A and B are shown apart, each in its own frame.
Chain A
Amino acid sequence: MTLTRRRFLGWMSAAGASTLLGSSANAASSASFKGFPGSFAVLHDITLCVGCRVCEAACNKVNELPLPDKPFKDLTVLNEKRRTNAKAFTVVNRFENEQNPKNPVFAKKQCNHCLEPACASACFVKAFQKTPEGSVVYDHTVCVGCRYCMIACPFNIPAYEYDNPLTPRIMKCTFCHPRILQGLVPGCVEACPKEALSFGKRKDILSLARERIRKNPERYIDHIYGETEMGGTSWLYIAGNSFKQAGMREDLGVTPAPELTAGALGAVPLVVGLWPVLLTGIYAINQRKEKINAEEKRIAVAEAIERTHAQEKQKLASAMEKAGKDAQKEKDLAIKQAVKKALEEAQQGKTEEATDV
C-alpha cells in the first residue's frame, strides 16, 4: 500500500508539474499547432463521391475485418444511416440533397485523425498516439476498456468489441498506418474509382482543396472541413452545399480537445498545494480556539473558586463577628433583664410594703 502510495505521490507531483507546464505551453502553442510537419492527410471531395462502397470493401480487406452479411456491392444498405463499428472502420452514407433532390449527397465517414486527438487526450493509459505520419494509432496491449475515448470523440468514431467478454478492443480506422510506413496510400484512397479521396502531405492537400474551391466557386462552398474543426484534422472535406447536409456537425468549434480539459487539470496542483495548508490552518485555528477556550475556562474556574473562597471567608468572618456581637448583645440583654427584674422586684417589694401599710 505504502509503496503504491509513494510511487503515486511521485506521479502526482510529476503530473501536477507537467499539467502546469503543459497548460502554459499549450496556451502559447495550441492556436498555431498545424500537426507534425510533413504529416499526411486525405481530402474527401464530397461532391465527387457516388456511394459505390468500394472504399468500404478495400478497408475491410486491408484490415482483415469479418465480411458483412450483405456484400459491399449491395447498395441498399445506403438506405439506412450507418456509423463506424467494430467491424467497419469506414462507412458511406447517403443524404438527401435539398437543393437538388435528384442528386443525393454521399459522404464517407471514418476516423478524422485529429491533430490533437480527443481520444488520446482522454485515454488514461496512453493507448492512443498521434504519429508523425499523421495517423492516430491505438495500442490494444495496454487498453483497459473504459471507453472514455468513445465519450470524448466529437466525431463518434471509436467502436468497441462489445461481444468480446475478456479481450475487447477499441476498433477504429488506423489511416492504414502500416501501409503509409511502406510508402503506400491508405486502402480506401487507393480503391476509390472517382478519386473522391486524395492523399498527400497535409500542407499540399490543403492547397489542393483551396485550389479546387477557387477554380470552381459555384461547385463548392468556401470552407474546408477539418482545417480548423476541433483544432484541425488530418482528414479534410470539401462539399457542395453544407457539411451538415452530409451528416457532419458544423458546431464543433475550433478548440482542440486537450484544451477543453486543460483548465480542470491545471487546478490539480492548486488543490494539492492549497488545500492541506488551508485545512491545517483551519485545524490550527480551531485547536488554538479550543486551547484558548480551555485556558479561559480554567481561569474562570479558578477565579470562580477563589471568588467562592473569598466569599465564604467573608461570610465566616461576618458570621464570627456577628456571633461575637450576638454574644455581647445577649450578655447585655441578660444583664439588662436581670437588672430590670431586680428593679421590678424591688418595686414590687416597695408596693407590697405600701399596701401593707
Chain B
Amino acid sequence: MEKARSVLYKAIIPAAVVIVTIFGVGAYGRNGESLNGKRADVIMIDALKIFGKLDRPAVEFLHDTHTKALEKAKKDCTACHLPEKDRLSTKYQRLSDVSKKQSMDIYHARCIECHKESLTSGEKSGPVTCGGCHKGKPGTASVREPAGFDKSLHFRHTKSLDNKCELCHHEYDDQSKKLFYAKGKEGTCRYCHKEAAQENRISYRQAAHSGCIDCHRKTIASGEKSGPLLCSGCHDPKQSALVEKVKNTPRMKRNQPDVVLIKTGKDEIQPETRMNFTPFDHKAHEDYNDTCRVCHHKEMGSCNKCHTVPGSKDGKGVSLENAMHQMDSSRSCKGCHEKQKSDKKCMGCHSLIPKTNKDENSCLKCHAKPPKDAMLPILPEQEPLFAKALLDSRRPMITSFSEQMLKEVPEKVTIKVLSNQYEPSEFPHRKIAQTLLKNISTNKLAGVFHKDEFSICQGCHHNSPASLKPPKCQSCHNKPFNEKNPMVPGLLGAYHQQCMGCHKAMEMESPMGCTECHKEKK
C-alpha cells in the first residue's frame, strides 16, 4: 500500500512537469482574437429589446447565409417573411411584436424547427441549443456600409421603369391619410423617412429594405434582370463597387438652376457691409458629384434657408459663413475644395502650405467683384442673368509663362550647402516650374485659383510677395534652432523639407536618396 502510494507520487511529479512545460510553451505563444471574416450581412437579433433588457445576449444572424441556404432548398423569402399588404414584412415570421413571450416563441420554435429539419435531411445546419445562438460576442466583423443611390443608379432605374416616377416617389395626404404621387415635387426618401419610425411613417431603413428588395424580388420572379437581393449586394463595399455605373448621365430634371447667386443673407444686411455675391456653377457641380446629398442635406432647398448669417436652429447653429468655409466639412465649399488638393499633382506644394481660412488673395476668387455697370441692388428676376455674368467674368484660365518670363526664370540653380560632404547640387529650376504649370493646366479648380502666373512660384518662394526676383532662401533660413523664431527651420532643413517633402507628396520615385541630388565627392 505504502509502496503503491509512493509510486503514485513519483508518477504525479513527472506528469506535473510535463503539464507545466506545456502550459509554459502555451504562455509564450500569444493568442490574438481572430474573427471568422468580414461580412456585410451581420444582423444582431435583438428584437426583444423593445420589451426591456435582454435576458440573453443578442444573436448573431448571417442573413445571406440563410438566403442562400433557402434558395438551395427551393424556398424563397416567404419562408421567413410574411406578406403585409402588397409587400413582405421585414420582421421574422410575424407582422408585429405583440408580447415578449410571443415574439420569443416565434424565434425559438421556427428557427430551431428549421435547423432541425435541415439537420435530419443531412444538410449543413444552424445551432439547436441555447448557447449555440446566444453567444454573447459576434464571431464576424461587420463591414456593412450604407448603400448609396447615386445618379447613375437613379438613371438606370428611371430608364428601366419607363420614367414611371410614381413607382417609388410619393407624397402623403394628411386629409385622406393616403399616399399619392405629385408630379414635379419628387424628393428623396429622406424627406419623410427618418432614422427612426414615426407615427405614420416607417423608418428610412425599413422603407429602403421593403421598397427596394420587394421590387427586386418581384422583378426577379417575373424572370427579368434586377438589382441585388443579398445584403452584400448593396452593403458590401466590394460587391457594390461591381454595380454598373453609367457615365455622363443626363441631368436630373427637377427645375434646378444652372447658376446660383449665393447671397450673403437676406435684404436686411446693408449692401455696403456685405461680401460680394458669389456665383455658384450648380450645373457643373452636378457633374462633379454622384448625388445631391454631397452638398444638400435631406432637402433640396437653398443653403441660406437654414444657414442664416448669424446661424439658426434649423441650421443647427451653423452660420452661413461656416457652412461655406468650414475646412473639415465635406459639404462646405472650402472643405470640398481642400479635398481636391489631395491630388498628388497638387500635393507637392499644398502639403507644405499650412491650411488656413484667412487667405485674402483667394477670397475674391469666389466673391467676384461685380461688373462696374451692374445696377445694385439686383432685382430677383435679374438674378440668373447677373449670376451668369459674374461666373463668366471668372472663368478658369490656363496659365503659362510668357517668353519674357521664361528668360527671367533661371534654368538651373546650384546649391552648395553640403559641398563639404558632396558635390554641389544642380537644381533644375525652370524644368520644375514648367512641370508645375503643366500639372495645373488640366485642373479647372487650379485654373481659377492660379490665374496669376506667380502663384506657382509661391509654392516654394513662400511668405514673400509674388515677384520675379524673390528673396533668397537664406534671407530667412540660416542657423537652425533660433530661439527667437523656432518655427523657421535652418537652411539645410528648409531645403530638405521643401524638396523631399514635395517629392514624397507627389509620390515621385526619384530623386529620393542622398546621392541622387548630391553627387558623391570624388
Contact = CB atoms under 8 A, between A and B. Distances in A.
Contacts, number: 52
Given A185-B481, A208-B487, A211-B487, A195 B493 contact: yes
Nearest to A103: B504
Nearest to B489: A195
Interface in B318-363: 351, 354-355
Interface string A268-281: 00000000000000
Given A200-B481, A201-B483, A218-B355, A52 B490 contact: no
Given A48-B497, A185-B480, 12 more contacts: A48-B501, A193-B418, A193-B493, A195-B489, A195-B497, A199-B480, A199-B481, A200-B486, A205-B486, A208-B486, A211-B486, A211-B487
B507 interface: yes
B419 to A, nearest CB: 13
A185 B493 CA distance: 15
A220 B11 CA distance: 62
Contacts of A200: 481, 483, 486
B137 interface: no
B514 interface: yes
Given A200-B483, A204-B483, A195 B492 contact: yes
B487 A194 contact: no
B448 interface: no
Contacts of A216: 354-355
Given A204-B483, A208-B486, A215 B354 contact: yes
* Closest 4 pairs (CB-CB, A-B): A195-B493, A215-B354, A194-B496, A208-B486
Interface of B: 351, 354-355, 418, 480-481, 483, 486-487, 489-490, 492-494, 496-497, 500-501, 504, 507, 513-514
Given A48-B497, A52-B514, A195 B490 contact: yes
Interface residues of A, number: 28
A102 interface: yes
Contacts of B354: 215-216
Interface in A219-267: 219
Contact of A195 (B351, B418, B496): B496
Nearest to A216: B354
Contact of A194 (B418, B500, B513): B500
Nearest to B493: A195
25 contacts: A48-B501, A50-B500, A102-B507, A103-B504, A189-B481, A193-B418, A193-B493, A194-B500, A195-B494, A195-B497, A198-B480, A198-B481, A199-B481, A200-B481, A200-B483, A200-B486, A201-B483, A204-B483, A204-B486, A208-B487, A211-B486, A212-B487, A216-B355, A218-B355, A219-B351
A156 B272 CA distance: 66
Contacts of A208: 486-487
B496 A198 contact: no
Nearest to A214: B354
A199 B489 CA distance: 11
Nearest to B481: A199
Nearest to A52: B514
Contacts of B483: 200-201, 204
A208 to B, nearest CB: 5
Interface in A80-130: 102-103
Contacts of B481: 185, 189, 198-200
A50 B483 CA distance: 25
A211 B487 CA distance: 8
Interface string A62-89: 0000000000010100000000000000
Contacts of A199: 480-481
Interface string A176-209: 0000000001000100111100111100110110
A216 B500 CA distance: 18
- Most A CB contacts (10 A, CB to CB) among B496, B500, B501, B504 go to B496
A217 B354 CA distance: 9
B496 A193 contact: yes
B486 A198 contact: yes
Contacts of A52: 514
A206 to B, nearest CB: 10
Contacts of B487: 208, 211-212
B355 A194 contact: no
A212 B507 CA distance: 23
Nearest to B342: A218
A250 B487 CA distance: 27
Nearest to A212: B487
A125 B501 CA distance: 47
B426 to A, nearest CB: 18
A231 B483 CA distance: 25
A212 B354 CA distance: 9
Contacts of B489: 195
B497 A194 contact: yes
Contacts of A185: 480-481
B9 to A, nearest CB: 37
